[in-house]
Amino acid sequence: MTVKRKPPKTASLEFETLLHRAGLRHVVGIDEAGRGAWAGPVYAGAVCLPPPTPQLAETLAGVRDSKQMTARQRERLAIIIKEQAVCWGVGYAAADEIDALGINPATRLAMERALHMMATAQPGFEPEFLLLDSLPWNLPHERYQSIIHGDRRSLSIAAASVLAKVTRDETLVEMDAEFPGYGFAIHKGYGTAAHQIALKSLGVSPIHRRVYAPIRRLLDGLE
């Protein structure tokens, strides 16, 4: 007896299809990775997919909220996303920028840099509409929609979340070599128990976000 495999969960093209029917071609999904981490940059991905078709959904099968995917799945699908995209970009804001601006403005800065990378990679490319995950980011663009759980509901946003997450993870692996002992390659800067133990042993590194309460308490000698 042959057991049929369930198709992998994939974010929908519902929003993209509606916008495409309205005559919009350059619909860009944007999402971030690393807002809640204690260390390292926050990253943003921006992806413009081709016109929505069943074939596109099949090619990008499995692309969904990057947090619901394994590292291997993200890495494999990131390659396919870049191959299929009309245009894509990734931007970041460093820990010192997060400290100076706050996490929300720094995340917007990362998104603006991702959009700038798109324009640089493909001169003349202009987003006609932005699809954003959850929060009203107030990007300098007139036409956008903020979607609750957008990385689960829009394939463009999900694709952006994958590129942001994969690129950020690669960066934290590099930072692990530069700042050994903290375990950045494993926990990617998030507040795990191992990360907390390393912080108490090694102190705060240059890539930790000093405005975040757990780091600030350490600097103030409260822990």
| Residue 183: band (very low, low, confident or very high) from pLDDT cuts 50, 70, 90 | very high
pLDDT, residue 181, reads 97
Q: Please check whether residue 219 lies inside any domain of the structure.
A: no
Contact between 186 and 169 (Cβ < 8 Å): no
Q: Indicate the average pLDDT of the chain.
A: 93
Flag whether pLDDT at 2 surpasses 70. Answer: no
pLDDT, residue 220, reads 87
Mean pLDDT of 172-191: 98
Mean pLDDT of 41-45: 98
Q: How many domains does the chain have?
A: 1
Q: Please check whether residue 182 lies inside any domain of the structure.
A: no
Tens digits of per-residue pLDDT, 192-204? 999 999 999 999 9
| Residue 47: band (very low, low, confident or very high) from pLDDT cuts 50, 70, 90 | very high
Tens digits of per-residue pLDDT, 120-173? 999 989 999 999 987 666 666 678 899 999 999 999 999 999 999 999 999 999
Mean pLDDT of 47-70: 95
User: If DSSP codes are grouped into helix, strand and coil, which group holds residue 129?
Assistant: strand
Who has greater pLDDT, 121 or 222? 121
What are the DSSP calls for 3-32, one per residue?
A: PPPPPPP----HHHHHHHHTT---EEEEEE
pLDDT, residue 221, reads 77
Q: Please check whether residue 211 lies inside any domain of the structure.
A: no
User: If DSSP codes are grouped into helix, strand and coil, which group holds residue 121?
Assistant: helix
pLDDT, residue 42, reads 98
Flag whether pLDDT at 205 surpasses 50. Answer: yes
Q: Cα–Cα distance between 134 and 204 in angstroms, integer?
A: 31
pLDDT, residue 80, reads 98
pLDDT, residue 8, reads 76
CATH code, domain with 59: 3.30.420.10
Q: Please check whether residue 120 lies inside any domain of the structure.
A: yes
Question: Which ranges of the chain would DSSP assign to H, the alpha helix?
Answer: 14-21, 54-59, 71-84, 95-101, 103-121, 150-153, 155-178, 184-187, 193-202, 213-219
Residue numbers of the domain that contains 146:
14-175
High-pLDDT (> 70) share of the chain, %: 92
Contact between 144 and 162 (Cβ < 8 Å): no
Q: Please check whether residue 58 lies inside any domain of the structure.
A: yes
pLDDT, residue 1, reads 46
What does the block give as tokens for 216? Answer: 């600030």
Flag whether pLDDT at 4 surpasses 70. Answer: no
What does the block give as tokens for 176? Answer: 């692990």
